[in-house]
Amino acid sequence: MSERVGLLVFSDGTILQGKGLGASRQGTGELVFNTSMTGYQEALTDPSYAGQVLVFSYPLIGNYGISSSALESKQAWVEGVIVSEAAAQPNHYESHASLDSFLQAENVPGIAGLDTRALVHLIRAGGVKPVAIDVMDASEVSLRSKQLQAAAKSFDYGEVNFVEKVSVKHTTSFLPEKSERTVVLVDCGAKSSIATNLVQRDCTVHQVPYDTTARDILALKPDGVMFSNGPGDPEQLQATVKACKELLGQVPIFGICLGHQILGQALGAKTFKLKFGHRGSNHAVLDVNTDKVMITAQNHGYAVHKLPSAAEEWLVNALDGTNEGLTCDKYDAFSVQFHPEANPGPYDANTLFDQFMEKIG
């Protein structure tokens, strides 16, 4: 049997070859990087990575294996994975699989042995890029290269509604032992730990499809509504923005990540694409009112700007000054650009769920 190799091909024809991991199939997506030292399984199963080929900047990935407790959704959503070194023999009492076997089971192609630091520098200098990735026998490399370049050339991340792909199709409910409140979670690609955090706070959670109307949301008699994280360009979600706008003033609203961008648009703000996004577990966020800093986990490629008078800037990114949070007292709404539910990672922002509980009573 010939050696499996992995190809990463850029739209300009640049080809990088390494050791093949995971599934022998083609993936096409936007090349992005994550700087976290841990949490690779959470990242792989985060729906916000749909449509993206993920480069892990930390040199060794897979050392503590794969566990059933670290899944953020029912499957891996990434189009491909790039690592410097993949641990072949993970060591952890909860581990039941290696990174390689997990990627194979999830039908995700991967490559090990590439210079991930160089890739990070490339993305930081030139921005995120469309690429194609494939795992194959060494004998197929010359034949597949041109096909992969054509696939990379034709891919446009901003033109795809990835939220439609990752959102639930029907309402799913989560019940605590003792229900004190009801929250509707509008699923734009929600991580499972969002619902977990709400249930831990005695909330009945109704997770609804991303395009659910305001009327149908209110029919569930929520004490509060959350708009979740998710992938893609927020401009693709005008039906969700419309529902959010119609809910303003009727029920307290909390937006997370993509949900922050949805709330921003509903209030009249604009969104724009960042050069290379914020993806990692150590991003410093400044509270402009208190000058205190939170360390946060982030995963987004778009940001909110040009806030309307109804919205007050609350948080900013300490590195580039982009908006990280807004409040709107008029409509009892607030949102953050990061992940307060992130696990593992910093817990500085987890109290935002408690702030939401205070708002909904």
Q: Which of 269, 158, 165, 266 is closest to 210 using CA atoms?
A: 165
Distance between CA atoms of residues 106 and 137, nearest Å: 20
Annotated catalytic, 341? yes
Exposed (0-12), middle (13-18) or buried (19+): which is 101, by Cβ within 10 Å? middle
Please compute Rg for the chain using Cα positions: 20
For the chain, give the number of residues: 361
The DSSP symbol for 311 reads: S
Annotated catalytic, 257? yes
Distance between CA atoms of residues 199 and 12, nearest Å: 48
Annotated catalytic, 339? yes
Considering the candidates 30, 72, 324, 341, report the single residue annotated as catalytic: 341
Nearby residues of 206 by Cβ (< 8 Å), 6 or more positions away: 171, 172, 173, 182, 183, 184, 185, 220, 222
**Cα Dmax for the chain:** 66
Distance between CA atoms of residues 195 and 208, nearest Å: 12
Q: Which of 71, 124, 69 is closest to 93 using CA atoms?
A: 69
Considering the candidates 206, 278, 300, 339, report the single residue annotated as catalytic: 339
Considering the candidates 206, 257, 300, 324, report the single residue annotated as catalytic: 257
Tell the residue number behind the tokens 């994280």, with chain if given.
229
The DSSP symbol for 31 reads: E
Tell the residue number behind the tokens 């599934």, with chain if given.
23
Bridge partner residues of 345 (DSSP): none
Omega before 344 cis (within 30°)?
yes
SS3 call for 297: strand
Distance between CA atoms of residues 34 and 283, nearest Å: 11
Question: What positions carry a catalytic annotation?
Answer: 257, 339, 341
